[in-house]
Amino acid sequence: MNGHERELAEAQREHWQHTYGSHPGMYGQAPSAPARHAAIVFRASGGREVLELGAGHGRDTLFFAREGFTVQATDFSATGLEQLRQAARDQDVAERVATVVHDVREPLPLADASVDGVFAHLLLCMALSSEEIHGVVGEIRRVLRPGGSLVYTVRHTGDAHYGAGTAHGDDIYEHGGFAVHFFPRHLVDTLADGWTLDEVHAFEEGELPRRLWRVTQTVPR
Ligand SMILES: C[S@@+](CC[C@H](N)C(=O)[O-])C[C@H]1O[C@@H](n2cnc3c(N)ncnc32)[C@H](O)[C@@H]1O
């Protein structure tokens, strides 16, 4: 990480801490549509243990736990994860949920081939360089068992906010305090090198609307 990347990363962590502190449960309690899809994918391959990266306050972690999965949830915001733990206790699923404060720029604190499915909704398109994103996906592959799938979503270069706000280079733009790495299609394809790329599904979310891809890729057996 160079000096500018480090500064941006630290500013973003503080921004997310502050955002969850001032808007507890900001994404609501209903699971996202990509999480519903991921549960079907993970169950189809017999998956039981799920890792969610960038879980925030846990709307999707809690859904996976209610569906019977064991979930390890990570995020670099301790505030978001505290809200997640409280909600897990309230919903009586705390025994199936573990949380770890973790920045995805660091190696994942998990053993090789130790999880069945990885879910990351709107995490890889945060303020991460292309090199860092490749590093994260390499780590995800390391911790997934053969036959396990990664389901992730990202905003892409067809999004209305692409090119708007402060440019940080590498397709990263900051708008309203949030920095986003808008994915070009070739980044999706190179991240799937050595995987089976099952699907790239385009969808929209929110009022803007945000334009996203939901990507499903699987470690060959
Ligand atoms: C757009 S929010 C999505 C939250 C959650 N996935 C959801 O959809 O409800 C992105 C999340 O990624 C987390 N995040 C951003 N950069 C991160 C990093 N480098 N390491 C770990 N978490 C990060 C933020 O704290 C935030 O919770």
- pTM value? 0.97
pLDDT digits (tens, 9 = 90+) for 94-142: 999 999 999 999 999 999 999 999 999 999 999 999 999 999 999 999 9
Q: State which ligand 1 atom lies nearest to the alpha carbon of 127.
A: 16
Stated length of the chain: 221
pLDDT digits (tens, 9 = 90+) for 57-67: 999 999 999 99
pLDDT digits (tens, 9 = 90+) for 173-187: 998 888 999 999 999
Confidence of residue 1 (pLDDT cuts 50, 70, 90): low
CA angle 12, 14, 19 (to 5 degrees): 90
Ligand 1 environment, Cβ below 6 A: 12, 16, 27, 32, 54-56, 59, 75-77, 80, 103-105, 121-123, 126
Q: State which ligand 1 atom lies nearest to the alpha carbon of 80.
A: 27
* Cα dihedral 42→102→105→220 (10° resolution): -20
